[in-house]
């Protein structure tokens, strides 16, 4: 997938399976020049996290998921909401019903497409820009989206 480091203009290609980075428009191949993602990001003083990447060629992520990530799971989310579940409940309780419905539909459609865990990580942390990684709490990404969906359905 084509991407760039957040805040930079350099275009790179990244293999989602092996974390290999090819700089510029170099075609992916099994011999150098290539570098591992963690090493590449370290050049810029960044941690080797997928969330440091901005994906250039990706299916559009529904605005409802972006809004949940950016508005309720920004870098200070734990100071404002306490637990991740409380942040999701705040979204459910504070946003208008049509926003809650849009999020339910977006997550239902996302999970129906059966994306890989890695793809869900890329969507949530990379494309949506969430600062909360459910895997830090021992929750898989598919389970996380399922939990968000369940909380949204509790409003009905």
DSSP per position, the chain: -EEEETT---EEEE-TTT-EEEETTPPP-SSSS-EEHHHHHHTTT--S-GGGEEESS-PPPPHHHHHHHHHHSSTTHHHHHSSHHHHHHHHHHHS-HHHHHHHHHHHHHHHHT---HHHHHIIIIIIS--S--GGGGT--HHHHHHHHHHHHHTT-
Q: What pTM was estimated for this model as a whole?
A: 0.64
How does pLDDT run along the chain (156 residues), one tens digit per residue?
678 888 888 878 777 667 788 776 555 555 567 788 899 899 999 988 888 888 775 567 789 999 999 999 988 877 788 899 999 999 999 999 999 999 999 999 988 887 888 888 878 987 888 889 999 999 999 999 999 999 999 975
64-106: pLDDT as tens digits: 999 999 999 988 877 788 899 999 999 999 999 999 999 999 9
């Amino acid at each position: 997938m084509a991407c760039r480091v957040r805040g930079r203009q350099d275009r790179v290609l990244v293999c989602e399976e092996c974390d290999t980075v090819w700089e510029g428009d170099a075609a992916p191949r099994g011999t150098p020049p290539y570098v591992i993602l963690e090493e590449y990001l370290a050049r810029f003083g960044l941690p080797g996290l997928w969330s440091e990447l901005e994906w250039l060629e990706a299916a559009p992520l529904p605005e409802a998921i972006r809004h949940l990530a950016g508005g309720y799971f920004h870098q200070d989310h734990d100071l404002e909401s306490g637990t991740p579940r409380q942040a999701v409940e705040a979204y459910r309780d504070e946003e208008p019903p049509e926003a809650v419905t849009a999020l339910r539909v977006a997550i239902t459609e996302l999970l129906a497409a059966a994306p890989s865990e890695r793809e869900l990580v890329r969507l949530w942390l990379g494309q949506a820009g969430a600062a909360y990684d459910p895997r830090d709490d021992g929750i898989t990404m598919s389970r996380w989206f399922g939990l968000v969906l369940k909380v949204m359905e509790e409003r009905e």
